[in-house]
Amino acid sequence: DRWRRREEQRNRSLLHLTPGDFGLESLDDLNPEHYPDSFELRSNTSVPIAYQLDPGSPNDGASIDVPVEVASTMLPERSAWLIPGWIPEKVESILRGLPNTIRRQLDINTLLPKILNDLDFQRGDFYQQLAASATRHSSVEISPKLVEQVPLPDHLQLRITLTDPAGKEIASSRDSAFILQTAREEARRQAHNDPGTPTRYTRWPDHPIAEIVHNTVGSATVERYQALADAGDHAVLRQYDDKPTATHEHSFGVRRLIQLAIQSEINTLLRHTPRVDQARTHWATVSGAPRLEAPIGALVAQWQGDLSQIRSEQRFTSAVQSAKQDLATRVNAVVDLLANIGQRYNHLVRILDSIQGREFQPILADLRYQLAQLIHSSTLHRVPANRLVHYPRYLEAVRLRLENARGSGLRRDAEHMAMILPHWRQCIERAAQYHASGRHEPALDHYRWMIEEWRVSLFAQRLGTSERVSRKIIEQIWAEVESFGL
């Protein structure tokens, strides 16, 4: 203290902090908008943000506390944007943290301001924008995954604490994907333990189904997506964290209510419908498959196309009337389709069971798994009509593949299978992850069915495909799937 008093007599500002100590050229650079008081988790949903300068502490940097009900709806990519005032330091840290082989090719001092000028929060993913801008201005190929994997100091990663309804901490992490997954699991656990019973609907509710609802949780307003969901012999009204999942579930919920409205007339028609007994016999061999009456009704309801936009009683009534107008024709078409699928499926099962020889085991394993993913206990509940109509072609492609897998055809089959299997495995793995989190992603759906079309293209080209498909197209669709994260 004696030293301080002596030195301050010479320079009274000796221990005063300057803008340069904070990385600023002047106080004019200290824009309040760069250090906001709240953090936007998604549109119309924000939470307070806290700042702490404490290097080495778990709380260093920017932190937010998020109630579990709010966190389950947040967009994980938002956390990558951190706060505007720290983006320059974050981008520079990422560029300097790239592998040496890439970093040596970059003039970071020249590149940094160009990238910062390109970045725009409104245009979406931070890492995709950063990688695209760095590649464009440097002519060095830099992928989003590469920049995302660069380790960062704690203060350049948002700290998120997940809290229960009482405000108690559930989890804390700077990994937003982990927080989101934990929040969704906790929200599902709470919903499972909720003693309340949702209203069972066997007819259209007495009110329109709003697409978006706003719930108040503490000081935050949470935007959620509402949908009718199929619950077997009725529908229930549920809320979802994301629009694609709600839209998907709503189409099946509406399908169920239309099916219930027309089922008695369908049952009458089925007494005189050709091939209905054949369809029943074939599907009876599928373990866990339901009796066909209700699935036939559901497929007839969905035969007219997309039902996800029906949210009023007027549109629902119109859809029911439309289904009834040509009911006999639709019932015949659905029964013929199911009989055709069932017949082809059982024929293929018998062929697979009859094939012997070690050289055929890889093909047999692949085909058995493919068939198990196509035909199972939930096929008639969860596969939409507009996809089920392609099943006869998929099954015929399996038959032709077996027919061609002789002699030199075995080697060619193995080459094609080697191309498909990595995509097939990652599709199944991602689907399991989405299922566990209760999500539906249309891009993954597209990827899954395009793999099926790719199989047709490779193993039974003469059957044709529903749309153009190639290895490059498949990889592009997978890149789209990955861009949505988990």
- Lowest-pLDDT choice from 17-31, 180-194, 351-365: 17-31
pLDDT band at 24; cut points 50, 70, 90? low
Give the pLDDT confidence score for residue 26 in this predicted structure. 58
Kindly report, residue by residue over 217-242, the tens digit of the pLDDT. 666 677 889 999 999 999 999 988 88
Kindly give the pairing relationship between strand 169-173 and strand 212-217: unpaired
Tokens of 341: 């699928």
More confident residue, 137 or 483: 137
Q: Is pLDDT of 41 > 60?
A: yes
Count of CB atoms within 10 A of residue 161's CB? Answer: 18
Q: What is the pTM of this model?
A: 0.76
Q: What share of the chain is helix, strand, coil (3-state, %, to 5)?
A: 60, 10, 30
* Single-letter amino acid code for the residue at 319: A
Q: Please say whether the beta carbons of 335 and 276 come within 8 A.
A: yes
The answer, yes or no, to whether residue 214 has pLDDT greater than 90, is no
Four-point Cα dihedral 175, 176, 182, 185, nearest 10: -150
- Output the DSSP codes for 71-105: HTT--GGGGGG--GGGHHHHHHHHHHTS-HHHHTT
Helix or strand holding residue 162 (H, E): strand 159-163
pLDDT tier at 113 (50, 70, 90 boundaries)?
Answer: very high
pLDDT tens string 355-412: 988 999 999 999 999 999 999 999 999 999 999 999 999 999 999 999 999 888 899 9
| 163: β partners | 67, 169
Provide, rounded to the nearest whole percent, the portion of the chain with pLDDT above 70.
94
Residues across the chain: 486
- Helix ranges (H only) for 75-216 are 87-96, 100-103, 108-118, 126-138, 144-148, 176-193
